[in-house]
Structure 1
Amino acid sequence: MPNPAFSSPTPNAAKIAVADLDGVLRGKYVSAEKYAQILEKGFGFCNVIFGWDMTDLCYDNAQVSGWHTGYPDALAWPDTSTQRAIPWESQLPLVLADFSKDESGAASVCPRSLLKRVVGKAAEMGYEAYFGAEYEWFSFRETPASVHEKGFQQLTPLSPGMFGYSMLRSSQHASYTDALLQQLPAFGIPLEGLHTETGTGVYEAAIAHSGALEAADRAVLFKQGVKEIAHRQGLLASFMAKWDSGMPGCSGHLHQSLKHTGTEQPVFAGPGRPNGFSRAFEHYLAGQMALLPILLPLLAPTVNSYKRLVEGSWAPVNMSWGIDNRTVALRAIPGAQPRVEVRLGGADANPYLAIAACLAAGLYGIENQLELEQPPVSGDAYQIKGLPALPRNLGDATARLKAAPLAGEWLGEAFISHFVRTREWEWAQYSQAVTNWELKRYFEII
């Protein structure tokens, strides 16, 4: 069913967009005539979007896309259920596309196509998966030009001071707050809540839950929408996981639940059982406990992601679970419709890959009836000894993913092989860089 936020004016152009491996939307404007053809027949899109990094540097280690392929077009197909009008761009139509129908190899590495396959696996098992994303981001009184001129240092935040849940700050910036509250829902992204978070100029938004694929669509468009709305307010929004060592990080928490297909019956509810959790819920948690440490690069995909995963940062440092506990990796939330909040991911994660990883891990636990080997953490998980530690950097996390056959079994060998190569590339770029920290520490004294 087409998105109800989509209206059908007759402008002379439209937008089409696809998500690359880093969750960056790549797209173009097309004429109204071309748009009509695309909706009917799909369109060719250069496969380089899976062969370069977020700065448009081409990988030298990729197989699916690279100079050796000549960078041909791959078949992208629009999903008309994602059609919507862009409120801040004269109601211009926009549609998301993926490469599920492509036969050249792009389908195997396309993030949206991957999530569709995992959702299909859930359907085969008799489940419908529901997700809701929460995002934190920093807003600055800057422009793209000014942050480059300043070398990304001494940036001016939207507001000074630590003002979590501040009624004052959100009211003081009412124009920005109102634009987010009005324009995002009009863009087909319903919000359940919006508030300031701890940090200078930080906001957090909770997106209303929906089916897994739609939740990922909403999430990727939410990040794009916030950036565009902020720009029109004279601001710059950043979803970087940890932009400043003295500031909190930006999370991308994922709330998730299952229902039996075709019913409203929650799979995770277990009346009469401890905490009201079903056996299936415990298996789902156990699967995530087992598999998410292996799939961590899908939730923490950048070098910077791991700067957020430190003690006392409202982000986990070990693989743990607890009941309504915000110091653990998996927060089990009881109630009439229980859910689990995965707190591993940062705001920098690709929503399609993060949701695919979480769902695949949970389904793995249900299919294999895994048992929870660890009791729920009560109190501060940072202080409990013996909990399984998470990888401390992208290099270690990628090596662990590369060595795990289970990852390929659940997400596809072709995808894992390609994704691992992209993270190895990312780690190599970082390893070769000379940072400001090194200059300050070694330049004169050593």
Structure 2
Amino acid sequence: MSNPLTIQELITHLESQSITKVKVAVTDIDGILRGKLISWDKFKSIVKSGFGFCNVVFGWDSGDVAYDNVRYTGWHSGYPDAQACIDIATFRQIPWENNGAFFLADFTNEQGQSLDVCPRSLLKKIAAEAQAMGFYPSFSQEFEWFNYKKPSEIRDFQSLEPITQGMFGYSVLRASQEAAFYHDLFDQLTKFGVPIEGIHTETGPGVYEAAVLYSNILEAADRAVLFKSGVKEIAHRHGYLATFMAKVNENLPGCSGHVHQSLWTLDQSENLFYEAGSSNHISELMQHYMAGQLYCLPYILPMLAPTINSYKRLVEGAWAPTTLTWAVDNRTTALRALPGSPYSTRLETRVVGSDSNPYLALAACLASGLYGIKNKLKLAIPETIGNGYANKQHGVLPGNLHEATQAMKNSPIAKELFGEAFTEHFTASREWEWRAFSKVVTNWETQRYLEII
């Protein structure tokens, strides 16, 4: 939140509120918050020097099953502590937990440098590159997600009951029917330092969409991570289960995590994506940025679509892109350019799913855009007029996590953008995810083969 307080001022402020404990959290490779509640005395002893946090958070999957294919940590290393550093600028108070104090942390290596495999540290590195080039990256992420009535025990996820029925996007009626939850999301998250620009129902039973207010890119990613966690916590208090799966049902639309972005001068006085005299007011810089994203998309896709389930969303006719395309205000293309005023001109990357790790998704968007600027790439792909799904002449996105991961692993592009150590670790984690899925016998298989074959 760009907290302006010094450490001592912060301590004095919290002591004046009689704070006795503090929640501290880090983010793993999947974008899941992992944290602990610590005493006030413990917090004061580590806020300057940092603290040890078991590095298994980068050595296991979302189900806490340990990877067997990564070098960073594992049984071979004994899962030692990594050095975590509290970022006091992330200070927040959790309104649904009696205004308890909360901080985010990220990791450093033994030399005190950013840890290569830490998602938040990676984003800070890419953001610093943008700043060195003279840019202020203004970003925001919006999310769609399903909300279900939570039974006392979940035995069959397919039988969960949505909080509202029917395909009713932008419905005032459906939102009103769950008004307490609807308003609680808006109000509590805003108090939590995750300001909501807008929230509404989306098409699908129990589906909401919310746009988080834009900010500098690191704060935008912090807000996005805390939005997803906060929504789940608030939903639980209402007796609901919120999910950010990309695709909960093959017969329903998927859930996006679209990223909106623009580059400004360092003093934030000028939007560099806007040019008054150009076609559609899209500047040459914005064209380079879009060209970079389109060029890099096949090699960074696992950072935007990181799960097996992600690719069930990226199918034709389901409000998610499948082709390497761009257009002005077209929701069927990978990139949706939104030229407008000097204030509002921006790019929306529509490939990103709601299941993405915001730190990695935003890092991938910015790094690939900067790649286009550095190399002065021309926007050689012409604007799509009409249906982006039908425009396959410039390529299509990989169709599953395995294909996408191999493209990323074997391309020099990802290593150039994110470093070899991160790329190796991240792609290994996605290979693990594919292996874990590949050995499972699914309901589809038993229904199709059990009796007939």
TM class, shorter-chain normalised? over 0.9
8 Å CA contact 2:262–2:273 kept in 1: the answer is yes
Specify the alignment match of 1:57 in structure 2: 65
| Aligned partner letter, 1:112 | R
Specify the alignment match of 2:234 in structure 1: 229
1:30 is paired with a residue whose SS is strand
Q: Which runs of 5+ in 2 are unaligned?
A: none
Specify the alignment match of 1:311 in structure 2: 316
CA distance in 1, matches of 2:286, 2:224: 25
Alignment partner for residue 440 of structure 1, among 424, 447, 451?
Answer: 447
Counterparts of residues 31-430 of structure 1 (less than 5 Å): 31-100=39-108, 102-103=110-111, 107-143=115-151, 146-147=153-154, 149=155, 151-337=156-342, 338-430=345-437
Per-residue CA deviation, residues 374-393 of structure 1 (Å, 9 max, x unaligned), is 11111111123424110000
CA distance in 2, matches of 1:233, 1:142: 9
Per-residue CA deviation, residues 104-137 of structure 1 (Å, 9 max, x unaligned), is 8970000000000000110111111111110000
CA distance in 2, matches of 1:101, 1:260: 32
8 Å CA contact 2:114–2:121 kept in 1: the answer is no
Tell me the number of residue pairs that the alignment of Structure 1 and Structure 2 aligns: 442
Deviation at 1:75, TM superposition (A): 0.5
8 Å CA contact 1:77–1:101 kept in 2: the answer is no
Deviation at 1:154, TM superposition (A): 1.4
Deviation at 1:103, TM superposition (A): 3.5
TM-score in terms of structure 2 length: 0.95
Deviation at 1:262, TM superposition (A): 2.1
2:239 is paired with a residue whose SS is coil
TM-score in terms of structure 1 length: 0.97
Alignment CA distance shift 1:263-1:170 (3 Å): closer
8 Å CA contact 1:256–1:339 kept in 2: the answer is yes
Per-residue CA deviation, residues 215-239 of structure 1 (Å, 9 max, x unaligned), is 0000000000000000001100000
8 Å CA contact 2:82–2:109 kept in 1: the answer is no
CA distance in 1, matches of 2:446, 2:41: 55
CA distance in 1, matches of 2:251, 2:371: 38
RMSD (Å) for aligned C-alpha atoms = 1.4
Per-residue CA deviation, residues 335-356 of structure 1 (Å, 9 max, x unaligned), is 1232100000110000000000
1:322 is paired with a residue whose SS is strand
Deviation at 1:267, TM superposition (A): 1.1
CA distance in 2, matches of 1:384, 1:91: 51
| Aligned partner letter, 1:437 | W
| Aligned partner letter, 1:221 | L
1:159 is paired with a residue whose SS is coil
8 Å CA contact 1:76–1:101 kept in 2: the answer is no
Per-residue CA deviation, residues 149-194 of structure 1 (Å, 9 max, x unaligned), is 2x21211000110110000011111100111111000000111100
2:34 is paired with a residue whose SS is strand
Deviation at 1:263, TM superposition (A): 3.8
| Aligned partner letter, 1:34 | K
1:130 is paired with a residue whose SS is strand
Per-residue CA deviation, residues 15-62 of structure 1 (Å, 9 max, x unaligned), is 000000000000000001111222121110000000000000000001
Per-residue CA deviation, residues 53-87 of structure 1 (Å, 9 max, x unaligned), is 00000000010011111111110001111000000
CA distance in 2, matches of 1:268, 1:120: 19
8 Å CA contact 1:288–1:362 kept in 2: the answer is yes
1:83 is paired with a residue whose SS is strand
Deviation at 1:443, TM superposition (A): 0.9
Deviation at 1:100, TM superposition (A): 3.8
